[in-house]
Structure formats: structure tokens, C-alpha cells
């Protein structure tokens, strides 16, 4: 499968790095190392999907957007037949969008979900697929530790669930030899701080930026704790959310990390032998701030909703409780939000309603 990946990305750019000790410029991938772990940050548009292949094992973290088949198609092209663990970090349709199809078309041993329920058809289809296939189901919690081959998985979050779907994303640190990877789904700044306060060692060479590079994630404190050498975000080109946000890119770059994004670099592959790593992109490009920024009130977290002037914590929780909304004007159904507030919200050109 590695040969397939290398052929696909032959025209891409490569950077080989050893932790704290970069490989000499001009040294080839073959001379640098013989990779035994390949991590594919798959370009699935405005969504998330990451495939890890190592020592005959395969782990999938999230499964793309429900409106596309990009995750499924990529797995087939890569020659994947079986998946040991398929993780849905949270029930949003841009993270578990193709998970039901994957469970149906591939041999999936185990599915991990945080346990927060959703009424969406996408989520219900996943539960039905798990039941129909007989796939094992597990809800990981902070402090859980698993060994899959030579891979160690430390679950960082959540410790428990309260119904906050985005914020309580399954967050993990994956260790392969001397190389660590951190994934946090759509967990926010508050949840990142709880991970820090737990006392867990969060340091990792590779950080997958939370919430597609949104400013609701990736605090300065979290960046300091992880201290990544490479940061990767997953976002669709010209997405309507403005991902990645400028302040996140600035903070990551100022920390000294190299930044890559699926919107400009396409699928991004990290290869490692457990001591050094390569970053391989399908195309060159420099991550820049997203445009057309929009906060979708039907999927936004409480933190995101509070970025809309006039929406405080109480209103944000009511929006989440009463959604989906068909139009911004429907916000006047919430007690305390009148027509004047709705008009003020509309004038900001920040809130939107999308499927």
C-alpha cells in the first residue's frame, strides 16, 4: 500500500525530518529511512478523514462529509480491505459522513464513538450499520490506553459526556516509536485546557489542528503543551466557514511549526519509521486565511455561536437545543430574541444556515 501511496504522490513535494534533528538537505527519502507507518490526511473537502497504515494494521479517524464519497474512494484506491478501528470523533456529518458506507463495504473490527447522540440521519445510519454488521462498538474515555501492534493510543478526552457533541470529541495521542501524533476532532479551547490540566504529556511532533483550523480551538497554551513541529488542518477550498482562521495560522507559525492544509496541499501524507518522518503533499501551496467566513447555526458549537454579537451562552445553548433552523429569521422563536436582534445578527453577515 505504501508503494501505491508513493506512486500517487510522486509529483508532490517531500520534506524529511527527524525529531530535533533535520535530515541534510537533498537527502532522498530512501536514504533517510524505510517508513513503516503511513498517515494519510485525506483531502475530503470540508470534512475530516485520516488513515493510518502500519505493520498490517489500519486505523481510520473520521470518515469525511456525507455529501461525498472521497473517503471511501481513497480507501479503495489505497487497497484497504480491513480496518482495525474506525473512530468517529463526534457525530457531525462532516466527520462521520461516510462511516456507515465504510462499515458496510470494508471489514471493520471496531467502531469508536464518544456516545453523544444525534438525531441526524447520518448518525442513525452509522448505528444501523454497526448493528447490521456485528462490528464491535466502544466509547473511549480519557485515561484509556490501547496497544495496536507497535502503536500506542492514549485517549485524552472526554472523561465523560454531557451532550456537547463538538466539544466532547474523542481526542487522542498516538505514539509510534519516537514519533507522536495528536488528534482532537472539534474539541474547543476549554476542552484543550482540561487536557492540559489532566497532567498528561501532550507533546507530539505532528498536531492535527482542531475544528478545521477554527479559532475555537488551538489555544496558545495547547500549542505550548503539544509543541508540534508540523501542524496539519483539514478544510475545503473556498469553504463558507473561513477555515482556517488567520489567528490560528499566525499562532502556529509563530510557534515554529510548519503548517499544511488539505485545501491548498491536497492529501497530506506523513511517513515514519519511528525515528524520522517525511511530509509528502500532493500539491504545493501556502496555507492562508479562509474567506467567506460563516457560522452555521445548525452545527456550530456554543463557543462559535457566541462569536455572533447578541448571542451569549444562554442563547447559544437554546439554539443548540432547538435546531435545526431553516432560516436565520427563525431565531426569533427563542424566548428573548426579538425581531430587532435577528436583524442585528443578519447585518453582521456572520451567521448562516446550511445543511
Predicted confidence (pLDDT) per residue in 116-157, tens digit: 989 899 999 999 999 999 999 999 999 999 999 999 999 999
Q: Calculate the alpha carbon distances from 257 to 6, 114, 171, 231, 234 in Å.
A: 24, 30, 20, 6, 16
Start-to-end C-alpha separation, the chain: 35
Architecture of domain 2-281: 4-Layer Sandwich (3.60)
Whether pLDDT at 211 is above 70: yes
| Residue 13: band (very low, low, confident or very high) from pLDDT cuts 50, 70, 90 | low
Cell of 63: 470518515
Q: What is the pLDDT of residue 16?
A: 47
Q: What is the pLDDT of residue 355?
A: 53
Q: Which of 53, 55, 75, 52 is nearest to 64 (CA)?
A: 75
What is the average pLDDT value for the chain, to the nearest integer? 88
CB of 70 within 8 A of CB of 42? yes
Average pLDDT over residues 198-220: 95
Beta strands in 113-158 (DSSP E): 136-138, 145-148, 151-157
Whether pLDDT at 234 is above 80: yes
Percentage of residues of the chain with pLDDT beyond 90? 66
In the chain, domain spans: 2-281, 295-352
CB of 151 within 8 A of CB of 175? yes
CB of 191 within 8 A of CB of 149? no
pLDDT in tens, 216-231: 899 999 999 999 999 9
> How many beta carbons lie within 10 A of that of residue 66, not counting itself?
22
Quote the CATH superfamily of domain 295-352.
Answer: Photosystem II 12 kDa extrinsic protein (1.10.150.320)
Instruction: Match 432547538 to its residue by C-alpha cell.
Output: 322
| Residue 81: band (very low, low, confident or very high) from pLDDT cuts 50, 70, 90 | very high
What distance in Å separates the CA atoms of residue 249 and residue 20, rounded to the nearest whole number? 22
What distance in Å separates the CA atoms of residue 149 and residue 170, rounded to the nearest whole number? 21
Q: What is the pLDDT of residue 292?
A: 59
Q: What is the pLDDT of residue 33?
A: 66
Q: What is the pLDDT of residue 296?
A: 84
What distance in Å separates the CA atoms of residue 16 and residue 233, rounded to the nearest whole number? 19
Amino acid at each position: 500500500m505504501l508503494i501505491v501511496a508513493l506512486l500517487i504522490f510522486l509529483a508532490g513535494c517531500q520534506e524529511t525530518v527527524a525529531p530535533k534533528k533535520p535530515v541534510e538537505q537533498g537527502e532522498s527519502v530512501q536514504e533517510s529511512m524505510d517508513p513503516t507507518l503511513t498517515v494519510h490526511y485525506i483531502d475530503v473537502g470540508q470534512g475530516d478523514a485520516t488513515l493510518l497504515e502500519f505493520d498490517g494494521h489500519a486505523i481510520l479517524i473520521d470518515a469525511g462529509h456525507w455529501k461525498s464519497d472521497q473517503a471511501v474512494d481513497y480507501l479503495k484506491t489505497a487497497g484497504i480491505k480491513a480496518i482495525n478501528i474506525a473512530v468517529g470523533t463526534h457525530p457531525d456529518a462532516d466527520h462521520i459522513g461516510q462511516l456507515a458506507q465504510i462499515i458496510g463495504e470494508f471489514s471493520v473490527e471496531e467502531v469508536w464513538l464518544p456516545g453523544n447522540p444525534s438525531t441526524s440521519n447520518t448518525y442513525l445510519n452509522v448505528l444501523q450499520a454497526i448493528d447490521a454488521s456485528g462490528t464491535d462498538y466502544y466509547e473511549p474515555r480519557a485515561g484509556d490506553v490501547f496497544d495496536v501492534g507497535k502503536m500506542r493510543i492514549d485517549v485524552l478526552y472526554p472523561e465523560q459526556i454531557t451532550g456537547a457533541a463538538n466539544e466532547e470529541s474523542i481526542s487522542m495521542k498516538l505514539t509510534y516509536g519516537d514519533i507522536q501524533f495528536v488528534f482532537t476532532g472539534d474539541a474547543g479551547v476549554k476542552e484543550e485546557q482540561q487536557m492540559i490540566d489532566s497532567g498528561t504529556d501532550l507533546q507530539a511532533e505532528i498536531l492535527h489542528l482542531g475544528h478545521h483550523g477554527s479559532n475555537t480551538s488551538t489555544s496558545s497554551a495547547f500549542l505550548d503543551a503539544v509543541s508540534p513541529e508540523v501542524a496539519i488542518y483539514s478544510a475545503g477550498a473556498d469553504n463558507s466557514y473561513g477555515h482556517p482562521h488567520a489567528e490560528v495560522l499566525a499562532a502556529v507559525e509563530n510557534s515554529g511549526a510548519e503548517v499544511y492544509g488539505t485545501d491548498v496541499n491536497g492529501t497530506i501524507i506523513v511517513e515514519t519509521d519511528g525515528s524520522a518522518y517525511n511530509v509528502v503533499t500532493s500539491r504545493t501551496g501556502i496555507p492562508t486565511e479562509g474567506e467567506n467566513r460563516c457560522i452555521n447555526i445548525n452545527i456550530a458549537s456554543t463557543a462559535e455561536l457566541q462569536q455572533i454579537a447578541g448571542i451569549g451562552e444562554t442563547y447559544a445553548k437554546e439554539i443548540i437545543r432547538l435546531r435545526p433552523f431553516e432560516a436565520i429569521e427563525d431565531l426569533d422563536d427563542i424566548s428573548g430574541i426579538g425581531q430587532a436582534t435577528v436583524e442585528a445578527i443578519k447585518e453582521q453577515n456572520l451567521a448562516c444556515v446550511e445543511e
